[in-house]
Amino acid sequence: MVCFPNCKINIGLYITSKRSDGYHNIETVFYPVMRLNDVLESVPADETDINLYGKTVEGDKHDNLVWKAYALLKADYPSIPELSVHLLKNIPMGAGMGGGSADGAFMIKLLNDYCKLELTHEVMINYALQLGSDCPFFIENSPQYATGRGEVMQPVGIDLSAYSIQLICPQVHISTAAAFKMITPKPASIDLQKLPELPIEQWKDVVSNDFEAPVFTQHPELASIKEQLYAQGAIYSSMSGSGSTVYGIFYKDEKAMIKTLLQFEEYYI
């Protein structure tokens, strides 16, 4: 069985409070980007293992969220068979687009379908949350207003299909844990549930990402990329998550020519 985990961008991201469990409460809109995908395949095998291809994934392959998702469900459903898992990494890592989270969540959905586990939506979300805060979104995989750690979600009526999205992914790894330490939590400056009521042309003045100020201070080239996107016609531009991806939303078929000393990958959706 094959599936194609996609990435996401954040439209607005506010860190509103520190929780007693060590996590932070956030408010954000997760928006799926469907045309930038990893490839995840599982086939029957004598012994379960995971094989990684494409972009280099640092560390032990058994720390991968795909492997952890398999182990998590296998512990509760011993009937899940041995599988040879193949993961082709296309989505940049450490870039604020949730590629690893998507892989883990899609593995849960793949096992549910392949093994006919008949898990409810809510059960899959609970499993996904055990893998990471962004993972439950990829069970839904539609525009969502998210609070809590990111797992409390409500559908939000945002459709960017009439626009083009340009993703600039510099080869700068931003540690999410380190980025959170640079944030002083405060109430969100806008109610993102009302974002669909606001013309996209007005987002620039009112929708922001709390991570940008500290991350841009450490990496001013990222701020320059955002400035170039706006200077060349972006309707809205922001860093996604804790970075380092910076995206611009343009009128259809428009895009920017980015100049930076950083090495970067570019995707145009």
Task: List beta partners, residue 85.
Answer: 42, 50
| CA 8 – CA 4 distance, rounded (Å) | 13
Token reading at 224:
């320059």
DSSP 13: E
Strand partners, 114: none
Write the CA distances from 193 to 9, 12, 157, 163, 220, integer angstroms. Answer: 16, 11, 9, 21, 31
CB 135 within 8 A of CB 65: yes
Edge-to-edge strands, sheet with 264-268: 236-239, 246-251, 163-170, 264-268
Backbone angles phi, psi at 181, to 5 degrees: -65, -20
Q: Round to whole Å and give the CA distance between 254 and 269.
A: 11
CA–CA separation, 40 and 173 (whole Å) = 24
Check if the beta carbon of residue 40 is closer than 8 Å to that of residue 87: yes
How many CB atoms are closer than 10 A to CB 29?
22
Quick one: tokens of 64? 């991968």
CA–CA distance, 148 with 24 (Å, rounded to integer) = 8
Q: Which residues are catalytic?
A: 8, 134
Dist. CA 83–CA 64, nearest whole Å: 15
